[in-house]
A and B are shown apart, each in its own frame.
Chain A
Amino acid sequence: RKEVEQDPGPFNVPEGATVAFNCTYSNSASQSFFWYRQDCRKEPKLLMSVYSSGNEDGRFTAQLNRASQYISLLIRDSKLSDSATYLCVVPVGHKFYFGSGTKLNVKP
């Protein structure tokens, strides 16, 4: 079983829509979680950190469900500039495991 699993998408949504991605992880001992954004042919960049039950930053909300071992990312009022691939990251010891990413296409 993979350490981190994500729905690859793509999610095609209109501007202004609300969209949510889920990510499941296998190691119940993991304490911190991250969402990264990766634009085409670029390096991943940190979007949000999740250390407890959740985190909110403007239009972005991350939630953690330890019992079910999943992390979600909610994007409200989608913008064209939100189009990217969103990667879920779960550290296990010194290793950072990445999900395969969920592709989001926001259309006018």
Chain B
Amino acid sequence: SQTIHQWPATLVQPVGSPLSLECTVEGTSNPNLYWYRQAAGRGLQLLFYSVGIGQISSEVPQNLSASRPQDRQFILSSKKLLLSDSGFYLCAWTIGNTEAFFGQGTRLTVV
């Protein structure tokens, strides 16, 4: 069966520090991969998606970046965090337009 792992679960980082969040999927090949952010009390905002290794599409301008070095690995990064980067970050995968499955999320607080 397919599983998705996302870590860490919780992170507190100072403003200006770098960020690296990792997501890996098991049990499937060639998934579409996604990074979403959810601010407190708000909906999910699509940040990046990827349909293959090295292929990244960005949805919103920001100081975040994403990379997909392997088929089932998706990484979200920042060189310098801002206070506004705080939120709940969720990784998800799909095959085609079937339902999306989410990791357990990373709750990031920038202080």
Interface of A toward B, CB cutoff 8 Å? 31-32, 34, 41-46, 49, 87, 89, 91, 94-101
Interface residues on B, range: 20 to 34
Are the CB atoms of A98 and B44 closer together than 8 Å? yes
Q: How far is the CA of A97 from the CA of B46 in the complex (A)?
A: 7
- Whether A101 contacts B43 by the Cβ 8 Å rule is yes
User: Secondary structure of the B side of the interface?
Assistant: strand
Q: Chain B 40-62, CB within 8 Å of chain A: the 1/0 string? A: 00111010010100000101000
Distance between Cα atoms of A70 and B103 in the complex (Å) = 28
Q: Which 9 A-B pairs have the closest CB atoms?
A: A100-B43, A43-B102, A98-B44, A91-B97, A46-B99, A43-B105, A32-B97, A96-B100, A98-B43
Q: Which residue of A lies closest to B50 (CB)?
A: A94
A101: which B residues are within 8 A, CB to CB? Answer: 43
